[in-house]
Amino acid sequence: MRIGSHEISGRTRVFAVAGSPVTHSLSPAMHNGWYEDHGIDAVYVALPVSAPLAAEAIAHAFALGIGGLNVTAPLKEAAAVAAISLDPAAALLQAANVLVPDGQGWRGLNTDAPGFVASLDEAAPDWRARVQTAVVLGAGGAGRAIAFGLQQAGVPRVLALNRDRAKGLAAARRLSIEVWDFERLPEAFAAADLIVNATTLGMGASHAPDWPLSKARSSAIVADSVYAPLQTALLKKAEALGLIAVDGLGMLIHQGALAFENWLGVRPDVRAARARLLTILAERKP
């Protein structure tokens, strides 16, 4: 059987991303493009998995011989629980976005943290010298990873805002960061050198709040973890105000490259991936 130029056989390895929703994911296009670049006999698919079925699905994926699994919202916490071992970042954050086969089960990794930092390095190379206070919107799996990554990169003050107060306080205890209620958005935006949306607000047809970017500093950097659409309402507003805007595609690509390397021992071309994914996004209907 052929898919494009790729011959699928009994030897073809299968990799996947699991989440809900997952039909919008660009990970299959990204990884399948890398397999073609490197002549690797593998295929990458998207698996829609609801949160209540996460533990069972992750166990079955290992039993079926899946070569590696990416995990997206809302399954990252469940993936950490299901793994038989965790890297230090995933253990601290209690969230895993990459699962690697390891003996009798999965080894859980968190590549979101270094992936986000790498995306900032690429889009705003001088950001480390500019950012003293970072504001992260959301304290879920992605938000905690981004906050941790920024801490590891040396940002002196990381402040998180979360709609779920209990989850926010748990993140504060785990990471030793400040957590404010979402009602303090204007105050937080005014204090920030870097603003990061780590929620799903603005994804697809979801409603995004009227972000108070008029309060932000003229030198602020604004980043979004959402990449569908590529230009979210937050980033459009940032660009209209002349602020540096960093789209979510960079984080997707860099965390995916780290997953690919952990599964296959090969470092893929992130620039080739970005070119391919930008073409796909341009062809999608608004």
* Amino acid present at 109: L
Residue in 61, 131, 40 with CA at minimum distance from that of residue 19:
61
Side chain identity, residue 53? L
Catalytic site includes residue 76 = yes
DSSP 56-94: HHHHHHHHTT-SEEEE-TT-HHHHHHH-SEE-HHHHHHT
Give, in degrees to the nearest 5, the angle at Cα 16 between 54 and 39.
165
Report which of 79, 113, 114 is spatially closest to residue 99, judged by C-alpha positions: 79
Q: Largest alpha-carbon pair distance within the chain?
A: 58
Residues tagged active-site:
76
